Amino acid sequence: MNTLQKRSTGYAVLGFVVAALMLAIPLSAQGQQESGHAGHGDQQAAAGNSEVEVFTPDADGVVEIEFSNRGFQYTPAAVQVPKGATVRIVYTSSGRHDWRLDGYGVGTAVLGNNQTETVEFTADTAGEFEFYCSVANHRAQGMAGRFIVAE
């Protein structure tokens, strides 16, 4: 193969790679937008689409849920409990955060790194509520989740 043929083959391969990348980038961005993970500002949308973890009461009628956070994301991000259950929230903070549920008027104090607090209440009103961090603008940054009380 002479130099001209090698150069032509190299250009053809380069052209193919560029074309493949041009097709892949718009498809990747479209997939991110559809999944709710297009960027940092879509964290609330992502929390809204989270898989719901369903909890059932123990023999004493208590549902215990252990919450934690990683950055501005709670784990679990969406929970469901049955109406009438006693709910015990055990929240361990990673950083300076709290856990609030206005629909029931409960929440932890603002906690430091690796601090834990427990709150307890009766889930006596069915519906979907938002829990969130009330520190600074953490809620606006997506530090929120769904708390569902099912009939």
- Residue 36 near residue 46 (C-beta atoms within 8 A): yes
Write the CB contacts of 137 (distance below 8 Å, at least 6 apart in sequence). none
pLDDT per position as a tens digit, 59-83: 999 999 999 999 999 999 999 999 9
Mean pLDDT of the chain: 80
CA distance 108 to 125: 20
pLDDT bucket at 5, cuts 50 / 70 / 90 = low
Domain ranges within the chain, ordered by starting residue: 3-35, 50-150
**Whole-model pTM above 0.75?**
no
**Residues 11-56 pLDDT 10s:** 555 555 555 445 444 444 444 333 333 332 333 333 455 699 999 9
**What's domain 50-150's architecture?**
Sandwich (2.60)
- The amino acid present at 19, given as its one-letter code, is A
**58 has a pLDDT exceeding 70:** yes
Distance CA 75, CA 57 (A): 19
Q: How many angstroms separate the CA atoms of 78 and 87, rounded?
A: 15
Task: Report the alpha-carbon distance of residue 128 to residue 88 in Å, rounded.
Answer: 17
The pLDDT score that the predictor gives to residue 38 is: 31
Is the Cβ–Cβ distance between 80 and 107 less than 8 Å? no
Residue 132: exposure state from Cβ atoms within 10 A (0-12, 13-18, ≥19): buried
